[in-house]
Amino acid sequence: MSKFNYDVIIIGLGPTGGVLANLIAMQNLSVGILERESNAYNLPRAVHFDDEVMRIFETIGITDKFLKKTIINKGTRFIDQKNNILLDWPRPKIITENGWYPSYRFHQPDLEKTLRARLANYKKVSIFQNSEVYNILNKKNHAKVFFKNTLTNEDNFFKCKYVVGCDGGKSFVRELINSGMEDLGFQQKWAVIDVILNAKKLDLPDRTIQYCSSIRPATYCRNVGRRRRWEIALKNNNDENEFLKNKNLWKFLSRWLKKEDAIIERKTIYTFQSAIAKTWCKGRIFIAGDAAHLSPPFMGQGMCAGIRDASNLSWKIAFCCKKFHCVKLLNSYQSERYQNVKEYISTTMNMGKLLNEIGDINVSDTVKNKKDGSKIMSTIKPKLGPGLGSVKDKNRGKIFPNLNLKNNLIDSYFDLDLLLITKEICKINLIQKLSGEEFIFLKEVLNKLGSEAIIVRPDRYILSSTSNKNGIEDFVIKTLSGLYN
């Protein structure tokens, strides 16, 4: 039996695991990835991500290649059975505070291949396919991960500092740490049909359409290239195998397509549900992505939430690997992410109720009346839950904007560090790397935040701010002391 040593073991190499591995590898740490499948899954699954996630992709260095394989999403409309617009959720083609467009469509296999290709650049990263984890020992100063090669039937184990389970909705790691799931109240079976058009069909909607109905709610998604998706709610008495027969699917699709217009690439039944794990970490073991939370797809935030988990957790684990095991820092992962993801799931559930025509059009507090009497929604931007920093700080937990400084986004200056931004130059002001109009621009941002100085975390959320211009260095010392002690 061989023994391998890694700083971090990641179980599962989907989008969450792939992003987490890249973020940790950037810190010059060793990463072992255990993936039970032999190859990346080559059919569509997740199809949407947002500007905050693209900002994370920018950090790990994949935007140049991956951007070419995406399209900008124009938004979502909820319509009734007479095609009246009940609620409009536009995603304007405008650069947001995160430095990117609000919403993108993509093909998940393209993302997974891009993430894996990026990991190939790191000598301290190893990927082990066909590896089924069957036990983890949680020790005081390390963890041991036991797994079986499903091809050779050989047993093996790794010793590491931390383990992260990114192993999906049926997570073995979640079960191992005895974390139950908090049921948030939405559960419904839906059929998902992915098709590839034989020719470009211009009369199909160029955005997401939610067809609200108490009889048969459905969703249409405009995806990349010639790919399109329909999701259809099942009734309790529907036979799943019968429903998925091609003749029945084409009967449903006849409203939009003829059989000769497309080929069915994938068809499956999902149980859309809303739930959050009660425990996200135990000792040196963590869970992230679908292992930690499940959301219906109506808002397109399932994968996004997992990638936010990876961004939050990666820099905290990296600190503990390089310096010292800090329980306070690691425990902040769940408390910060839980509230943030719950707000996304709650809004998604409200959308699901509207889609089933049993809910209020006011799916969130961002819904407003237009002049014509119709309803329009803007994107929610939840803060982090309680964790690092003071909850009394009005800026703490907000995203700091990815400012465009002379055609360079500020993230390109500071990828992995805490960032201090002040109005006045002081000996610890990292922003001395910038000057001129850039410095003035940052000053304007601080004015908007009502602060003399702020500290930004590596995941680009604001850690702390102060309005006291005479005590900047004391502010920094106090903040850092509270961060790690």
pLDDT digits (tens, 9 = 90+) for 234-244: 988 889 999 99
pLDDT digits (tens, 9 = 90+) for 453-478: 999 999 999 999 999 888 888 898 88
Q: Is the dihedral of CA 202, 54, 343, 96 positive or negative?
A: negative
What percent of the chain clears pLDDT 70, i.e. is strictly above it?
95
Q: What is the mean pLDDT of residues 4-13?
A: 92
Q: Which residues contact 471 (CB under 8 A, 6 or more apart)?
A: none
Between 439 and 112, the higher pLDDT residue: 112
Check residue 40 and give its pLDDT: 87
Q: What is the mean pLDDT of residues 433-456?
A: 81
CA distance 455 to 474: 13
CA distance 439 to 442: 5
454 DSSP β-pair partners? 421, 465
Q: Which amino acid is at 120?
A: A
Output the six-digit token pair for 139: 């020790």
The CATH number of 183-274, from 3.30.9.10, 2.40.420.20, 3.40.50.460, 3.30.390.30, is 3.30.9.10
Check residue 429 and give its pLDDT: 52
143 DSSP β-pair partners? 138, 160
CA distance 34 to 464: 37
pLDDT digits (tens, 9 = 90+) for 306-326: 999 999 999 999 999 999 999
Between 202 and 9, the higher pLDDT residue: 9
The CATH T-level fold of domain 3-69+104-181+275-355 is FAD/NAD(P)-binding domain (3.50.50)
Q: What is the mean pLDDT of residues 329-341?
A: 97
2: pLDDT strictly greater than 60? no
Check residue 331 and give its pLDDT: 96
pLDDT digits (tens, 9 = 90+) for 377-436: 999 999 999 999 999 999 999 999 998 877 788 888 776 788 888 877 654 555 555 556
Q: Where do the structural domains in the chain lie, given as residue ranges?
A: 3-69+104-181+275-355, 183-274, 404-484
- The band of 1, judged by pLDDT with boundaries at 50, 70 and 90, is very low
pLDDT digits (tens, 9 = 90+) for 12-36: 999 999 999 999 999 999 999 999 9
Check residue 434 and give its pLDDT: 58
pTM to 2 decimal places: 0.95
pLDDT digits (tens, 9 = 90+) for 256-289: 999 999 999 999 999 999 999 999 999 999 999 9
Residue indicated by tokens 């590491």:
160
Q: What is the mean pLDDT of residues 137-155?
A: 95
Alpha carbons within 13 angstroms on the beta-carbon side of residue 386 total: 3
CA distance 215 to 204: 23
Q: Which amino acid is at 72?
A: I
**Residue 403 CA to chain centroid, in angstroms?**
21
pLDDT digits (tens, 9 = 90+) for 174-213: 999 999 999 999 999 999 999 999 987 668 999 999 999 9
pLDDT digits (tens, 9 = 90+) for 356-378: 987 789 999 999 998 888 899 99
How many CB atoms neighbour CB 39 within 10 A?
9
Check residue 436 and give its pLDDT: 61
Q: Which of 36-40, 221-225, 416-420 has the lowest mean pLDDT?
A: 416-420
> Number of H helices and number of E strands within the chain?
11, 26
CA distance 143 to 30: 15
| DSSP letter string, 188-223 | EEEEEEEEEESS--TTS-SSEEEE--SS--EEEEE-
CA distance 233 to 259: 21
Q: Which amino acid is at 65?
A: K
Q: Quick one: DSSP state of residue 140?
A: S
pLDDT digits (tens, 9 = 90+) for 52-105: 999 999 999 999 999 999 999 999 999 999 999 999 999 999 999 999 999 999
Contact of 60 with 22, CB cutoff 8 Å: yes
